[in-house]
Amino acid sequence: MGKLDFKDPVPSDIDIAQSVEPTPIGEIAQKLQINAEDFEPHGTTKAKIRLSVLDHLKDAPNGNYVVVAGITPTPLGEGKSTTTVGVCQAMGAYLGRKVVTCIRQPSQGPTFGIKGGAAGGGYSQVIPMDEMNLHLTGDIHAITAANNLLAAAIDARMFHESSQSDTALFSRLCPAGKGGARSFAPVMLKRLKKLGITETSNPENLTPEERSKFVRLDIDPETITWRRVMDVNDRFLRVITVGQSPTEKGQTRETGFDITVSSEIMAILALATSLPDMRERLGNMVIGNSKAGEPVTADDLGLGGALTVLMKDALAPTLLQTLEETPVLVHAGPFANIAHGNSSIVADQIGLKLVGPQGYVITEAGFGADIGMEKFMNIKCRYSGLKPNCAVIVATVRALKMHGGGPPVTAGKPLDQTYKNENVELVQKGCCNLVKHIQNAKKYGIPVVIAINKFATDTDAELQAVKAASKDAGAFDAVVCWHHARGGEGAVDLGKAIVAACEQPTQFQFLYPLDLSIKEKIEAIAKETYGAASVEYLPQAEKQIELYTKMGFGGLPICMAKTQYSFSADAAAKGAPSGFVLPIRDLRASVGAGFLVPFVGDMMMMPGLPTRPCFYEIDIDPVSGRIVGLS
């Protein structure tokens, strides 16, 4: 193949993306031998792949499973998505391998805010890049709708409980039907069971005490962790007071909005393995506690079913393609701090079946490998049962120079000359960061390939230094690639290295077993992965650990909320710091998603808009109707 018409300098992402006519998505699906009944076209360039494909292929063997992670990045990013896309173009278009790229759906916040889109870049992109960066097939919008319906239900329920007697609540919650008899809605049976009430057919038979327990969730407003969400960078919604209309009778409450991708529902979408599994997880989400300290769930509010109905279509991954006609499954995009930062389990499962035993699924883990890859292994693989065959770690000379002591790299500011001129020593010094990531990855019992994402200013000596350090640290291979400028052609060596790595034997293992205590699990990650000497728990964290243990959530895996800019809690500590104390400020339970989130410092859950956001450039060309200015 190699149909791309390369230009130097590399044109803008949208210009490249629009210069390639996408192959009809039905043809992409046909090459993957997807049944017509499992294929749901959304126009001619997008399609949803229904989960029924897994039933149809349940006896087919899986392909090779490759996770792409990165070293500790600069704020400019090291090209992890671009590498993921580029190496798939290489494997599909140059190496004749069946390959599926699994990648996260970008949030619209950055698309219109600061960062721009996230469909790869240069000659390694997912197309149509505008569809990828905008609504796509509506999954994120479905999450917004579901998340906010639950939020509305919480405040409305507290409002109704505050003004109604047990009898009034009871007669409204279990209204008399046409025949005059009251009945429970099916979703109420879960609450009855949880309360230990054995009467499940006739509501009238509940004792007054049971009735009161049943109708009153008695939510303690101080404990509510459920926030509203929006897929927009709206900083003024970070902290708000709601309920200030006279119609709400003074029941104001301080709360706020996060960006949609940080919703627990997004994490659930990424971790669910089937529609019934998603139903369970959505119903089990804990939104806060009752005043008696019992967790209150979405099913207690009667909402698990409706949330599943809202999320039903979103559970099907979206099929797109790369610039070189290889298939891409775009699905879910959980935040990598408050959630696990990986695309969906079902997309990976579908991909592995579709490529078959000689094929490859290349899936990306967000943030640095200390976060994204760690969560890939210990959360995503734990829930999916899948075992990776190989890990790829993306490194750049730029980031390694920063880790070696180079001046700060700041988005929107000119890059220091250090990053444009040769400085082998600085690169070598900075390789400590890469080495630590390699050591971490090897603990999972799989081979590690280093992808050195080459920039025009990198010199051979610098690139050689990275290769040497990688090999010394036990990497299976370390290869230079230049897919941004040359698409798949630039990542052929990387593709070959992955193929060779996947032929190695593996002994996959988790970093920690689930039956350790919460603190032991946190410490395993902090010491083994981050290099911390110890962990310090602030009082709020101690309190939450005790509470969650008591509530029976102690057996969940851990999802650390930590900066991606350092192994430590201090974003300024570059390289491979060690001997530090990792502070745990607080803990949150994402019971539906199935993990506990220790907070290492403050996490920003709602970005803001700068003075001149990306949207100034974005418009429709009135003649062609094409989108311009998307980056």
Site for a second copy in 149-168 (CB under 8 A): 149, 151-153, 155-157, 159-160, 164
Please give the Cα distance from 390 to 4 (Å, whole number).
29
Examine the residue annotation and report whether 46 is marked as an active-site residue of this protein: no
Please give the Cα distance from 509 to 558 (Å, whole number).
16
The region, left, alpha or beta by phi > 0 then psi within -120 to 50, assigned to residue 136 is left
- Decide whether 63 or 333 has the Cβ nearer to a second copy: 333
CA angle (463, 359, 316) in 5-degree steps: 105
Task: Report CA 527 to chain centroid distance, whole Å.
Answer: 24
Examine the residue annotation and report whether 476 is marked as an active-site residue of this protein: no
- Decide whether 233 or 378 has the Cβ nearer to a second copy: 233
Catalytic residue among 104, 157, 211, 574: 104
Q: Considering only 98-106, 232-240, 326-334, 400-408, which stretch makes contact with a second copy by CB under 8 A?
A: 232-240
Residue with tokens 């902290």: 239
Helix (H, G, I), strand (E, B) or coil at 51: coil
The answer to the question of residue 240 lying near a second copy (CB under 8 A) is yes
The answer to the question of residue 48 lying near a second copy (CB under 8 A) is yes
CA angle (149, 150, 154) in 5-degree steps: 115
Q: Considering only 219-227, 300-308, 317-325, 448-456, which stretch makes contact with a second copy by CB under 8 A?
A: 300-308
Residue with tokens 């491979």: 576
How many other CB atoms sit within 10 Å of the CB of residue 294? 16
Please give the Cα distance from 33 to 168 (Å, whole number).
57
Helix (H, G, I), strand (E, B) or coil at 311: helix
What tokens does 559 get? 């999802």
User: Which residues touch 469 (CB under 8 Å, ≥6 apart)?
Assistant: 428, 431, 434, 435
Task: Report CA 467 to chain centroid distance, whole Å.
Answer: 30
Catalytic residue among 335, 367, 376, 595: 367
Q: What x/- string results for residues 413 through 452 when contact with a second copy is judged by CB under 8 A?
A: ----------------------------------------
**Residues 164 to 203 in contact with a second copy, rule: CB under 8 A:** 164, 169, 172-173, 175, 185-188
User: What are the b/e assignments for 557-585, b being 16+ CB within 10 Å?
Assistant: bbbbbbbbbbbbbeeeebbbbeebebbbb
Q: Which of 166, 199, 234, 570 binds a second copy (CB under 8 A)?
A: 234
Q: Which of 179, 180, 539, 622 binds a second copy (CB under 8 A)?
A: 622
The answer to the question of residue 220 lying near a second copy (CB under 8 A) is no
Examine the residue annotation and report whether 226 is marked as an active-site residue of this protein: no
State phi, psi for 282 to the nearest 5 degrees: -65, -40
- Decide whether 87 or 316 has the Cβ nearer to a second copy: 316
Q: How far is the CB of 576 from a second copy (least distance, A)?
A: 31
User: Which residues touch 274 (CB under 8 Å, ≥6 apart)?
Assistant: 51, 346
Q: How far is the CB of 251 from a second copy (least distance, A)?
A: 8
Q: Which of 162, 198, 245, 417 binds a second copy (CB under 8 A)?
A: 245
Please give the Cα distance from 76 to 410 (Å, whole number).
7
Q: How far is the CB of 237 from a second copy (least distance, A)?
A: 6
Please give the Cα distance from 585 to 170 (Å, whole number).
41
Task: Report CA 423 to chain centroid distance, whole Å.
Answer: 35
Contact in structure between 531 and 580 (CB atoms under 8 Å): yes
- Decide whether 94 or 112 has the Cβ nearer to a second copy: 112
Q: Which of 116, 304, 388, 490 binds a second copy (CB under 8 A)?
A: 304
- Decide whether 249 or 550 has the Cβ nearer to a second copy: 249
The answer to the question of residue 148 lying near a second copy (CB under 8 A) is yes
Element (H, E) at 82: helix 80-89
Question: Count of alpha carbons within 13 Å of 300, Cβ hemisphere only?
Answer: 23
State phi, psi for 257 to the nearest 5 degrees: -110, 140
Q: Which of 108, 337, 363, 378 binds a second copy (CB under 8 A)?
A: 108
Residue with tokens 């080495």: 435
Helix (H, G, I), strand (E, B) or coil at 300: coil
**Residues 269 to 298 in contact with a second copy, rule: CB under 8 A:** 275-276, 279
Examine the residue annotation and report whether 455 is marked as an active-site residue of this protein: yes
Q: Which of 3, 235, 420, 550 binds a second copy (CB under 8 A)?
A: 235
Q: Considering only 64-72, 326-334, 353-361, 612-620, which stretch makes contact with a second copy by CB under 8 A?
A: 612-620
Examine the residue annotation and report whether 336 is marked as an active-site residue of this protein: yes
Catalytic residue among 223, 225, 418, 455: 455
Picking from 99, 70, 78, the residue whose alpha carbon sits closest to that of residue 87 is 99
Q: How far is the CB of 106 from a second copy (least distance, A)?
A: 13
- Decide whether 77 or 117 has the Cβ nearer to a second copy: 117
Catalytic residue among 45, 72, 74, 82: 82
Q: How far is the CB of 162 from a second copy (least distance, A)?
A: 12
Examine the residue annotation and report whether 104 is marked as an active-site residue of this protein: yes
Query: Count residues contacting a second copy (CB under 8 A)?
Result: 90
- Decide whether 248 or 570 has the Cβ nearer to a second copy: 248
What tokens does 591 get? 């019971």
Q: What x/- string results for residues 383 through 412 when contact with a second copy is judged by CB under 8 A?
A: ------------------------------
Catalytic residue among 46, 50, 98, 115: 115
The answer to the question of residue 456 lying near a second copy (CB under 8 A) is no
- Residues carrying an active site annotation: 80, 82, 104, 115, 336, 367, 455, 482
